[in-house]
Amino acid sequence: MRFGVWRQYAQFYRGSRRALVISSLVSISQVLLLVPIPLLVRNAFDEAIPSGQVRPLVVLGLLMLVLQLASAGSSLWTRNVILRTTKTAIQRLREEALHKLYILPRSVFSSCDQGELHDRVVHETERVDIMTNALLSEFAPAAVLSLGVSVVLVTLNWRLFLVTVCLVPAAYAANRLLGRKVRASVRLFHRSFEQFSRGVLFVVRAMDLTHVRAAEDWEFRRQRRRLDELRETSGSMSVLVAGFAATQQTLVAVGGLVVLVVGGSRSAAAS
């Protein structure tokens, strides 16, 4: 079922697939431009600095700068292409959603939750937009970069690479455990936000009726309960997201520390 949904979503990218392929290739090359930098750093510490010569060190520094600038430039170009492509696809998605609203029978609007329809057309398409941009602009380049760094680590020292790989299960378990809690908290927040949005929409539409019935205080108390729920779910989500980010940073720091200790110990023993 999910495959069918993805295939249906891919139809909104008709006419833009060539641009996506080109931008993906450029994105891969942008990541690969960063792969030689660790090798240049190693050369600087192993040869240029011990030799006491400034010129090789300057050349290595310029090479690293050129690679970094080329990577940044290609990253900006790729980001621009991906954004234009995804924004066009999201526009087509929203156009189809609006078109479906116009062809629905009138009886549907009298029996369904209009606030829910509003949320699906507005908020759900925005979430799809954010998800697509994150997938194409962040996840895919990061995966290629991880592969390139792994190749470099194997080339430099396969033992350190194995040490790094041994840390992956712990990081995966922690991310999976916290990620499940974060997703559940995000769902609760979205549900509370949608209820708040529907409540405000109802307040605006029913304002005349509320005044006629003198139900301002009662309606305000009802909407305030939704605001309390929104505050609680928003706060819980923010705390969990911050904890998730802190856990990832800690795992990365621990991994770097382990690699530094193991690699330094072997270098000290070899000397």
Q: Are 47 and 56 in contact (CB under 8 A)?
A: yes
Q: Are 77 and 206 within one domain? A: no
Say if residue 9 is in the same domain as residue 134: yes
Question: Could you report the per-residue pLDDT of 206-247, keeping only the tens digit for each?
Answer: 787 777 778 788 888 888 888 888 888 888 888 888 887 788
Question: Are residues 175 and 149 both part of a single domain?
Answer: no
SS3 13: helix
For the beta carbon of residue 38, count every other beta carbon within 10 angstroms. 16
Residues 263 and 246 in one domain: yes
**What is the average per-residue pLDDT within 127-152?**
74
Q: What is the CB neighbour count within 10 angstroms for residue 66?
A: 11
Q: What proportions of the chain, in percent to the nearest 5, are helix, strand and coil? A: 95, 0, 5
The count of structural domains within the chain is: 2
- Sequence-distant (6+) residues with CB within 8 A of 172 are none
Co-location of 192 and 100 in the same domain: no
Same domain, 86 and 212: no
What would the pLDDT profile of 82-116 be if each residue is shown by its tens digit? 888 888 888 888 888 888 888 878 777 777 777 67
State which residues form the domain around 97.
1-156
* 165-206 pLDDT tens trace: 777 787 778 778 888 888 888 888 888 887 887 777 778 777
At residue 149, the pLDDT reads 67
Q: What is the CATH number of the domain that holds 102?
A: 1.20.1560.10
Confidence (pLDDT) at 1:
47
Note whether 120 and 237 are same-domain residues: no
Helices and strands (H, E) in the chain, number of each type: 13, 0
What global pTM score does this model have? 0.58
Mean predicted lDDT score pLDDT of the chain: 78
Band of residue 270 on the pLDDT scale cut at 50, 70, 90: low
Mean pLDDT of 4-14: 81
Whether 12 shows a pLDDT value over 60: the answer reads yes
- Name the domain boundary from 133, 156, 179: 156
Residue 267 has pLDDT above 60, yes or no: no
Q: How far is CA 55 from the centre of its chain?
A: 41
